[in-house]
A and B are shown apart, each in its own frame.
Chain A
Amino acid sequence: MTNDWVDIKNADVILVMGGNPAEAHPCGFKWVIEAKVKKKARLVVVDPRFTRTASVADLYAPIRPGTDIAFLGGVIRFLLAGDKIHLDYVKAYTNAPFLINPSCVFEDGLFTGYDGEKRRYDKSTWIYQTDKDGYARVDPTLSDPNCVFQRMKKHYERYTPEMVERVCGTPKDKFLKVCELVASTGVPHRTMTSLYALGWTQHSVGSQNIRSIAMIQLLLGNMGMSGGGVNALRGHSNIQGLTDLGLLSNSLPGYLTLPNDDDEQLKTYLERRTLKPLRPGQLSYWSNYPKFFVSLMKSWYGAAATKENDFAYSYLPKVDAPYDVLRVVELMSQGKVNGYVCQGFNALASFPDKPKVAAGLARLKYLVVIDPLATETSEFWQSYGEFNDVDPAKIETEVFRLPSSCFAEEDGALVSSARWLQWHWKAAEPPGEAKGDPEIVGELFSRIRQLYAKDGGAFADPILKLTWSYRITSSPHPEELAREYNGQALADVPDPKQPGAFLARAGEQLATFAVLQADGTTACGCWIFAGCYTPAGNQMARRDNADPSGLGIFPAWSWAWPANRRILYNRASCDPHGTPYDPSRKLIWWNGQKWVGNDVPDFKVDSAPAEGMDPFIMNAEGVARLWAPAMAEGPFPEHYEPFDTPLPKNPFGKALNNPAARVFPGDAKAFGKPDEFPCVATTYRLTEHFHFWTKHARIPAVLQPQAFVELSEGLARKKGLKSGDLVVVKSKRGSLKAKALVTRRLPTLVIEGKEVEVVGLPIHWGFTGQTKKGFLTNTLTPPVGDANIQTPEYKAFLVSVEKA
Chain B
Amino acid sequence: MNVTRRGFLKLTASGIGATSVAALGFSHRRALADVRLFKLTQTSETRNTCPYCSVGCGVIVYGLGDRAKNARTNIVHLEGDPDHPVNRGTLCPKGASLLDFVNSPSRLRFPEYRAPGTSEWKRVSWEFAFDRIARLMKEDRDRNFVAKNAKGQTVNRWTSTAFLAASASSNEAGYIFQKVVRALGGVCFDNQARV
Contact = CB atoms under 8 A, between A and B. Distances in A.
Contact of A238 (B75, B119, B161, B170): B170
B140 A339 contact: yes
Interface string A392-414: 11111111111110111111111
A543 B83 contact: yes
Interface in B82-118: 83-87, 90-98, 100-102, 104-118
A408 B176 contact: no
A778 B138 CA distance: 33
Contacts of B58: 422
A373 B108 contact: yes
Given A237-B56, A410-B170, A448-B138, A434 B107 contact: yes
B4 to A, nearest CB: 31
Interface in B118-150: 118-119, 121, 126, 129-138, 140-142, 144-145, 147, 149
B27 to A, nearest CB: 31
Contact of B164 (A341, A435, A458): A341
Nearest to B194: A791
A715 interface: no
Contacts of B29: none
A273 to B, nearest CB: 17
Contact of A237 (B50, B136, B188): B50
Interface residues of B, number: 117
21 contacts: A234-B54, A235-B167, A236-B53, A239-B192, A337-B188, A342-B164, A381-B114, A392-B118, A392-B119, A399-B113, A401-B121, A406-B107, A408-B78, A433-B126, A437-B169, A437-B177, A451-B134, A693-B52, A696-B106, A700-B93, A770-B105
Interface string A758-793: 000000000011100000000000000100011110
Nearest to B193: A243
A247 B106 contact: no
A240 B114 contact: no
Contacts of B115: 398
A447 interface: yes
Interface size range of chain A in the complex: 35 or more
A140 interface: no
A27 B91 CA distance: 6
The 7 closest A-B pairs by CB, nearest first: A344-B166, A432-B109, A412-B170, A416-B56, A403-B108, A339-B161, A236-B167
A690 B107 CA distance: 16
A769 B106 contact: yes
A315 B183 contact: yes
Interface in B43-69: 44, 46-58, 61, 63
Interface of B: 44, 46-58, 61, 63, 72-75, 78, 80, 83-87, 90-98, 100-102, 104-119, 121, 126, 129-138, 140-142, 144-145, 147, 149, 151, 153-180, 182-195
A328 B162 contact: yes
Interface string A684-696: 0001111001101
Given A248-B193, A249-B190, A485-B171, A694 B185 contact: no
Given A427-B75, A428-B74, A481 B183 contact: no
B9 to A, nearest CB: 36
A563 interface: no
Interface stretch (A100-108, A130-138, A319-327, A616-624): A319-327
B183 A689 contact: no
A266 to B, nearest CB: 12
Given A406-B51, A412-B171, A476-B176, A400 B129 contact: yes
A323 B147 contact: no
A271 B14 CA distance: 75
Given A242-B169, A398-B114, A418-B56, 18 more contacts: A26-B55, A27-B92, A238-B170, A248-B189, A261-B155, A344-B169, A372-B107, A373-B108, A374-B106, A400-B129, A406-B51, A406-B101, A424-B47, A425-B47, A443-B126, A694-B94, A697-B94, A699-B97
Contacts of B75: 408, 427-428
A22 to B, nearest CB: 10
Contacts of B73: 427-429
A337 B161 contact: yes
B92 A26 contact: yes
A699 B165 contact: no
A422 B49 contact: yes
A407 B61 CA distance: 10
A432 B100 CA distance: 17
B48 A408 contact: yes
Given A373-B106, A437-B166, A481-B176, A338 B63 contact: no
B112 A436 contact: no
B169 to A, nearest CB: 5
Interface in A618-673: none
B193 A242 contact: yes
Contacts of B178: 245-247, 252-253
A436 B173 contact: yes
A120 to B, nearest CB: 19
Contacts of B109: 403, 431-434
Contacts of B165: 242, 247, 343-345
Contacts of B195: 325, 350-352, 791-792, 794
Given A26-B92, A338-B160, A697 B63 contact: no
A501 interface: no
Contacts of A429: 72-73
Given A27-B86, A252-B182, A545-B83, A325 B54 contact: no
Given A246-B178, A429-B73, A462-B183, A317 B142 contact: no
Contact of B117 (A239, A337, A394): A394
Given A421-B171, A437-B177, A696-B104, A398 B116 contact: yes
